Structure 1
Amino acid sequence: MNNRKTELETRVLSSKGRALFDHELIELILYRNVENNEVSEKLMKLFKSVGKVINADFHELKSVTGMNDSAIATIFSVRETLQRMLKEDLNELPVIESQKKLIEYLKVTIAQSTVESFLVIYLNKRSRIIDEYLQEGTINKSPLYPREIMKRGLLVGATAMIIAHNHPGGNVKPSQHDISVTKTLSLACSSMDIELIDHLIVTEKNYFSFLENKIL
């Protein structure tokens, strides 16, 4: 294992990280926590991409033979590090001027989840993030509770919000339910003097903006 670790580290240093295959990146991340490099190959075979490995939940990771709590904690730490880095970048500018950074953030936080996850981003009058609210659903449906969303918005003093959810199947086209829910929430926001700026649907590789497509 030590010889293998040295080999991977040498390739990383010589290429600034670009020389490794996806399963080798996972292997190097987990080298202290698992007994052999077959675990990383099992993870990639199950989840199909590095992003989905990093965003898998505890029970999904635990189901892979060879994964232990220490290895899972390492993966969770990598995910949290990525999220904090992107959040810091996003916080540098008003969100409405930083759509590219917002999409990057959403692709790490919810896009690669295996269940639909609904994220509400609350903004102040300077369009800076002041709070977030996450709801997780099933593989093809994410619950949306406008009453809870509006209540939280009022509690944190939000003047605007952006909502986003993922489509685990990979198709960013909104369903009729997505459109209906967005209209319902938009009406609720209007009644509370909170602007609903956009609804974004994200996948691992793409996104759909209700605002850009003139649905909102």
Structure 2
Amino acid sequence: MICAASCREKLSPAKKLCSFTEVVRGFLARQHVHQRRSVRQQEVTSINSFLQVTEDLGLKTYDALVVQNASDIARENDRLRNEMNAAFHKEKLEARGKQEEGPKRAEDKSGPRRLHCSSAPAPAAVDGLAQSLAGPSSRPPSLHSVFSLDDGSGLPSPRKQPPPKPKRDPATRLSASYEAVSACLWAAARDSANEG
């Protein structure tokens, strides 16, 4: 203790001032470092809080969108289900109506199908056939255009399929057969003109 006191007394005022300023500078430097650390800590804290708030808002928005999307999907599924149910019920009602009309039509029918002339009476059809035979370029009318089946409702029934086409003999020449048919038709027309 006595040695330390004697050492202090021996120090000059300039050295005392120099050591005092060093102590003050060290204190101020530590304070400055402490302030910078606290400012950085505050910045980090504020940035973390900002990021946390942003993340929370993003999660809330995402949850709201998921709920909205789920409700939209459920609403669309309900609409499609209702439309399908309505179409199914409509088809069911139409099928029931057709089933009920089927026995009524069977009761209304008077008999089996009949063959009747749909486009022209029989004499006119025969005249049309004779006139078509007279001209070599015209073709005879098809039986499907003259006669049709009647199912009892008064309407001509739709044609199901045309009759099968006859197979041509490969040895037959088309030009010769055409000439033969034309000659026959011309002879028939001449004979009918001579008879008339």
Q: Same fold (TM over 0.5)?
A: no
TM-score (ref. length: structure 2): 0.19
Task: Give the structure, 1 or 2, with the largest relative contact order (CA under 8 Å, sep 6 or more).
Answer: 2
| Larger of the two Rg values belongs to structure | 2
TM-score in terms of structure 1 length: 0.17
